[in-house]
Amino acid sequence: MDARLVGDEDAGVGSPVVTMRGVRKLYGSVEALRGIDLDVRPGELLAMLGPNGAGKTTAINIMLGLRRATEGEVRLFGGDPRDWRCRLRVGATPQNIGFPGELKVREVLELVRAHYPRPMTAEEAMARFGLEDVAGRRTSALSGGQRRRLAVALAFVGNPEVVFLDEPTTGLDVESRRSLWDATREFVSQGRTVVLTTHYLEEAEALATRVVVINEGKVVAEGRVDEIKAIVGVRRVRFEAPSLPALPEVVSVHQEGCTYTVYTKDSDALVRALVTSGVSFANLEVLAVSLEEAFIAITEGSR
């Protein structure tokens, strides 16, 4: 069946910003999306995670109306993602973006903000994203990091209700990345919505109110960061010891000198066994797995 694009009459107060139901996308014989069901809720920062080629960018492009789904139902603010009325409520930073080389930074911002009903000023956008010093510079003369900051500023300058950020901090230095994090948090604190894809899992861990893991075109996990970590059911026990005794419920072990990091499905049983083993140890820590460790376990387990 063809993708159904639902009109504004279906939208309601408190409805999801984006709804995808049974969305498939084929590129020839390649199935990029394999029946995606997903809601993006008002006021959340949703991080979409997945390996390269998992389907994240395809999903965002379909949400934005830049691509058509082969099958399934897609809504943006209850309407057709390609409708100009929906697009006036959206800002986006794609992975790759080109600028008219002869235009200056301020001119590009003024050009984009003019399409929105209640935009921020170009000066505000430049201040927020560290572009004040290059306001009069042609875009062709910008460095890679400056071009990326401009691309992100363009997503926010219209003061939209939802912003889609596809790998926004790739190529940015640490200071610029932190500035973007702060601007994104401020945006969400105002009740706005952000959909983020990123390869920096610490970025998702720092920002996301909810995480969706996509692998091979399917949603394989979703929830809060702590819920994603809990899915794998493993904890880390780290300690220093002259040797590693026999311990129960061990999934894997990593050793650096006299420091052992043991991944276990039952940290309580492992610590009890360590205490009664007779091996002297120090600096014992029991830790939750990181989002990166959970992500690797989930994506490898879903193949």
Domain ranges of the chain: 18-224, 233-301
Domain 18-224 in CATH 3.40.50.300: yes
DSSP letter string over 97-158? ----TTSBHHHHHHHHHTTSSSPPPHHHHHHHTT-GGGTTSBGGG--HHHHHHHHHHHHHTT
- Residue 275 vs residue 303, higher pLDDT: 275
Radius of gyration of the CA atoms of the chain, in A: 23
Please enumerate in sequence order all residues whose Cβ is within 8 A of that of 52, keeping only pairs 6 or more positions apart, or say none. Answer: none
What is the pLDDT at residue 15? 85
Q: How many CB atoms lie within 10 A of CB 128?
A: 21
Mutual angle of helices 144-156 and 174-189, in 10-degree steps: 0
* 233-301 matches 18-224 in CATH topology: no
The pLDDT tens digits for 119-163 are: 999 999 999 999 999 999 999 999 988 999 999 999 999 999 999
What is the pLDDT at residue 176? 86
Average pLDDT, whole number, for the chain? 89
Q: Give the pair of three-digit tokens for residue 139.
A: 């875009």
% of the chain beyond a pLDDT of 70: 94
What is the pLDDT at residue 150? 94
Return the half-sphere exposure (C-beta side, CA atoms, 13 A cut-off) of residue 292: 7
Report the 3 state secondary structure along 238-300.
Answer: EEECCCCCCCCCEEEEEEECCEEEEEECCHHHHHHHHHHCCCCCEEEEEEECCHHHHHHHHHH
Residue whose tokens read 């984006």: 18
Residue type for position 247: L
What is the pLDDT at residue 303? 55
What is the pLDDT at residue 59? 95
The pLDDT tens digits for 50-62 are: 988 899 999 999 9
Q: Which CATH architecture has domain 233-301?
A: 2-Layer Sandwich (3.30)
- pLDDT of 180 strictly over 60: yes
What is the pLDDT at residue 4? 38
What is the pLDDT at residue 12? 45
Q: How confident is residue 302, by pLDDT bands cut at 50, 70 and 90?
A: low
Residue whose tokens read 């043991």: 262
The pLDDT tens digits for 225-263 are: 888 888 777 888 999 999 999 999 888 888 999 999 998
The pLDDT tens digits for 52-101 are: 889 999 999 999 999 999 999 999 999 999 999 999 999 999 877 888 88
